[in-house]
Structure 1
Amino acid sequence: MTRTLAPPVLATKTTSPARTAPRARRLGPGKPIPYGRAAGPLLVIAIWSVASASGWLDPRLLSAPWTVVETGIALIENGKLPESVLTSLQRAGLGFVLGAVVGTTLAIAAGLSRVGESLIDGTVQVKRAIPSLGLIPLLILWLGIGETFKVVVIAIGVAVTIYIQTHASLTGIDKRYVELAEVVGLSRTQFVRKVVFPGALPGFFVGLRLGVTGSWLFLIVLEQINATSGIGYLMFQAQNYGQSDVIVVGLVVYGLFGFLSDSVLRLVERRALSWRRTLAG
């Protein structure tokens, strides 16, 4: 009697479920929130409104938001605010443009030449240690208290700010780029145009933004020193009469102009540096 053998059973290897690779953690701040920068000011206005409506805030110390709005409308209707705004814009704009031209020119001369750096950088660094507002008594002695004096003070402050940022960017170009430019045979002009200037643009725009903010800061102080016009003069007169609503209107105007001017520079910066990818998006 023949015995049939069953075919051998092959051991099958049990496979464990495939392991999924862990998802990479996002380290950046995420996508920009549309109009997110308005959240902070709106929160401040909301708290201010609640405090004024509930009586927690003395109107003699700080007027309610609706009172400030009514005062602003009245100042626009009687022509005081538009006239003051125009005067302040002329002072800040002229001082900023003059300071930007001077600061950029000095930074290029000092950043691209050792001779220029020897002649310019030390002097500017000494001036940097002296607050621009500390020069007011001397400049009044030289220029009087007219418009020239105010424009010059603003221009000096803006020029130093832009110089510091631009000069640091020009002299901070990575040495590897210099060596690469020498290897590919770029001329001095090509190296400056294709490597140095593009590399210095981020610092230059930072200087512009700090400079335009500084121009409004200097303007606030200057318009309260022997001035007869401008937003600062309007606020100084309101201080004498305890009109906190007029003072707040002036502060709001200063803040709006500072915010708008900085926003314009940010837009130009994004367009000019569209090749650069940063966390700010």
Structure 2
Amino acid sequence: MWSFPFMVNAFRAGAVVAVVSAVMGYFVVLRRQTFAAHTLSTVAFPGASGAVLFGFSAVYGYFAVCVAAAVVIAALGWRRGGGGADESALTGTVQAFLLAAGFLFITLYKGLLGGPQTILFGTFLGITTSQVNVLLGVGAVVLAVLVLIGRPLLFASIDPQAAAGRGVPVRALSVAFLVLLGAATAEVSQITGTLLVFALMVVPAATAQTMTGRPSTGIALSVVLALAATWLGLTTAYYRPYPLGFFVTTYAFAGYLLARSGRALHSRLGRTGMPQLRKGATA
């Protein structure tokens, strides 16, 4: 497997994507903005297919449309906790139209590798060194900005009212985070596909927050889980003729189930032991 340059590039790209998505995903779950991540992943599909149709690389379509959509969402006032029913209906309508537009672009361009499957469910074929460099550059910028705003962003994510009262620019942080989320979503889409961005953007972070409430430990654990899911998915997809996104999602979801099961078992054992401790204390 390691004798093929495209597999080496796939593991490099997967590592970059896993780290960026895990760190961003921790804040996505903490801020309850999974719906925003879903919206951005949806618009990535027509962005990539449209770029290919008009003679550009799909990479540029991913980034251009995802970041533009993030700016639009921020301009419309999308906030933590979601908007009203009218906003949700409008967003859902736009998502449906853009998804249909993406399928139209793919139909018009008949030479697209693998048809819609490549963009929707991801692939490790054809990842070049230049693509890895682009992902690395964008990922470095996203993480650098996140480090700069990380502490106030964490405060604003946990208690936005208290943060605003202390003078934290909550609104500006929300806009900056959405733009970073757009760039991160564009990165993740190139590995998992646009429909399975949650595999790396949400599931490892949700698993980590199930296991620990400490932000630093949770972020580190989220990165480890995302790397494991990505590399295991790439290895399995090399030997099996099925979409990469399916394997990445399966491994990430299995980790989440194990974490939830372990937490439930721990809670049950704790409740079972309490009566015995009380009885011993009474005796």
Normalising by structure 1, report the TM-score.
0.27
Tell me the TM-score normalised to structure 2 length: 0.27
Larger radius of gyration: 1
Structure number with higher relative contact order (C-alpha < 8 Å, ≥ 6 residues apart): 2
